[in-house]
Structure 1
Amino acid sequence: MLNVSKKNSKIKSKETLAARFSNFIVLVRKDFKLNKGLYLMFLPVLAFYLVFHYGPMYGLIMAFKDFQPTKGISGSDWVGFKNFIDFFQSFYFWRVLKNTLVISITNLIFGFPAPIILALLINEIRNKYFKSAVQSISYMPHFISLVVVCGMIKDFTSDTGVISYIITLFGGQATTLLNEARNFVPVYVISDIWQTVGWGTIIYLAALTGIDQELYEAAQVDGAGKWKQTLHITIPGIMPTIIIMLVLRMGSMLSVGFEKIILLYNPAIYSTADVISTFVYRKGLQEFAFSYSAAVGLFNSVINFILLVTANKLSKKFSDSSLW
Structure 2
Amino acid sequence: MENKIENLTDSVLAPPSGGVGGSIHVFAPATVANVVCGFDVLGFAVNEPGDEVIMRVTGKPGITISKITGDNGRLPLDAAKNTVSVSVQHYLKSINRTDIGLDIELHKKMPIGSGLGSSSASTVAGLFAIKTLLGDDTDPATLLPFAMKGEEMACGHGHADNVAPALMGGFVLIRSYEPLDVIRLPHPKDLYCAIVFPDVDVPTREARQIIRKNIQMKDAVTQWGNIAGLVSGLFMNDINLIGRSMKDILVEPVRSMLIPDFYQMREMAMELGAVSFGISGSGPSVFAFTRDEETAKRITHKLQQHLTGISIGSNAYVSTINDKGPRVL
**Normalised-by-shorter TM-score class:** under 0.3
Give the structure with the larger helix fraction.
Answer: 1
Give me the TM-score of the superposition, normalised by structure 2.
Answer: 0.24
Larger C-alpha radius of gyration, 1 or 2? Answer: 1
Give me the TM-score of the superposition, normalised by structure 1.
Answer: 0.24
Give the structure with the larger strand fraction.
Answer: 2
